[in-house]
Chain A
Amino acid sequence: MTRPLLDVRDLAVTFPTDSGPIHAVHRMSFSIGSGERVGIVGESGAGKSVAALAITRLLAPSARLSGQVALDGTDLLQLPRSQLRHVRGERIGMVFQDPVTCLSPRMSVGDQLVEAIRAHRGVPRRAARDRALDLLRSVGIPDPVLWAKEYPHRLSGGMAQRVMIAMAISCDPELLIADEPTTALDVTIEAQIIDLLVELSEERGTAVMLITHDLALLARFAERILVTYAGSIVEQGTVGTLYGRPSHPYTWGLMQSVTGVNEQRRRRLTAIRGAPPSARAIPPGCAFHPRCPYVQEVCRREVPELMVHGGDDHASACHFAGQLARPEELREVRP
Chain B
Amino acid sequence: MSERVDATPATSAATASAAGGELQDAPPAALRPSLLRQLLGDRTALLGLLILVVLGLLALLAPWLSPHDPIAQDVLNRFAPPSAAHPLGTDHLGRDELSRLLHGGRTSLLTAVALGTAILLIGTAVGLVSGFAGGKVDGLIMRVIDVLLAFPNFLLVLVVVGALGPGMVNLAVAFLVAGWVGYARVVRGLVLVARHQPYVEAAHALGFGSGRIAIRHLLPNVYAPVMVLWTLRTGQLLLAFAALSFLGLGVQPPTAEWGAMLNEAREAFVRAPQLMIYPGIVITVAALGFNLLGDGLRDVLDPKLR
- Which A residues contact B (CB, under 8 angstroms)? 56, 58, 61, 84-90, 93-94, 96, 98, 101-107, 115-116, 119-120, 140-143, 146-147, 150-151, 153-159, 162, 164, 167-168, 188-189, 191-192, 195
Contact = CB atoms under 8 A, between A and B. Distances in A.
B81 interface: no
B33 to A, nearest CB: 12
Contacts of A101: 197-199
A172 to B, nearest CB: 13
Interface residues of B, number: 39
B31 A105 contact: yes
A106 B198 contact: no
Given A101-B198, A106-B220, A157-B22, A146 B207 contact: no
B68 interface: no
Contact of A167 (B2, B11, B31, B206): B206
Contacts of A142: 7, 9
Interface in B231-285: none
A141 B17 contact: no
Interface of B: 1-2, 4-11, 13, 16-17, 22-24, 27-28, 30-31, 135, 197-209, 212, 216-217, 220-221
Nearest to A86: B207
Contacts, number: 118
Contacts of A116: 206, 208
A164 B1 CA distance: 22
A46 to B, nearest CB: 21
19 contacts: A56-B205, A88-B206, A104-B216, A104-B217, A104-B220, A106-B220, A116-B208, A143-B9, A143-B10, A146-B10, A151-B27, A154-B27, A156-B6, A157-B22, A158-B4, A158-B22, A159-B7, A162-B7, A192-B4
A188 B201 CA distance: 28
Nearest to A87: B207
Given A192-B4, A195-B1, 4 more contacts: A88-B205, A88-B206, A94-B202, A146-B10
Nearest to A117: B206
Contacts of A146: 9-11
B62 to A, nearest CB: 39
B16 A154 contact: yes
B56 to A, nearest CB: 29
Contact of A58 (B4, B22, B205, B209): B205
Contacts of A90: 207
A9 to B, nearest CB: 23
Contact of A115 (B28, B208, B221): B208
Nearest to A94: B205
Contact of A188 (B5, B9, B208, B217): B5
Given A88-B207, A107-B216, A159 B202 contact: no
A-B residue pairs, 8 tightest by C-beta: A89-B207, A158-B6, A156-B22, A88-B207, A89-B206, A94-B205, A102-B202, A106-B220
B2 A164 contact: no
Contacts of A140: 4, 7
Contacts of B206: 88-89, 93-94, 116, 119, 167-168
A61 B111 CA distance: 44
Contacts of A168: 206
B6 A119 contact: no
Contacts of A104: 199-200, 203, 216-217, 220
A88 B204 contact: yes
A90 B23 CA distance: 31
A93 to B, nearest CB: 8
Contacts of B198: 96, 98, 101-102
A155 B208 contact: no
* Candidate in B9, B16, B22, B199 with the most chain A CB atoms within 10 angstroms: B199
A146 B12 CA distance: 8
Nearest to A84: B207
Given A102-B198, A116-B206, A153 B7 contact: no
Contact of B6 (A88, A120, A192): A192
A49 to B, nearest CB: 12
Contacts of A154: 13, 16-17, 23-24, 27
Contacts of A98: 198
Contacts of B9: 142-143, 146
* Candidate in B11, B201, B204, B205 with the most chain A CB atoms within 10 angstroms: B205
B208 to A, nearest CB: 5
A159 B28 CA distance: 19
A199 B277 CA distance: 78
A55 to B, nearest CB: 11
A17 to B, nearest CB: 18
A105 B28 contact: yes
A162 to B, nearest CB: 7
